[in-house]
Amino acid sequence: MCRVLLSLILCVLPGSMSFAASHAAFFTASFGNSGSVSLSLAEGRPSLDPAFDFDAVITLSETDHGGTVHYRDDGRHRASVRCAQPAMVRIRLVDYPVDVSARPGKDWKHDLWAALCTAPVS
């Protein structure tokens, strides 16, 4: 039942997110005085591949310490995410295992998995 509700929420999410000026970052890496690079979830929907739970589109942007965007990648980087064990993120045809016990902020694949698979459902 939770998966059905989460799937319904994520089906509505891409439409509502398209109106936003920017997407909420699920992972940010800081590079000292150079600023930071953020990965954001532009789309998340139930996967067409039965081995995965979600198909996602990731965007990338670079900002300085003041928050000014210096670069926004126009690419649409696709990923598939499996929530159940073995948890996994697939980029192109490469499967990356996800350590679900990892701390947030250390690995972007874990944070993408967490954004999709541990979203609260009411």
- Model confidence at 105, pLDDT cuts 50, 70, 90, reads very high
pLDDT in tens, 39-81: 999 999 999 999 999 999 999 999 988 888 889 988 889 999 9
pLDDT in tens, 4-50: 333 333 443 343 333 334 578 999 998 877 889 999 999 999 999 99
Q: What is the pLDDT of residue 31?
A: 85
Q: Taking 60 as the threshold, does the pLDDT of residue 94 lie above it?
A: yes
CA distances from 108 to 3, 8, 26, 121 (A): 23, 25, 8, 22
Q: What is the pLDDT of residue 34?
A: 80
Question: Would you say 45 and 39 are in contact if contact means Cβ atoms under 8 Å apart?
Answer: no
Of residues 34 and 94, more confidence is placed in 94
Q: Taking 60 as the threshold, does the pLDDT of residue 3 lie above it?
A: no
Q: What is the pLDDT of residue 121?
A: 62
Single pTM value for the model = 0.76
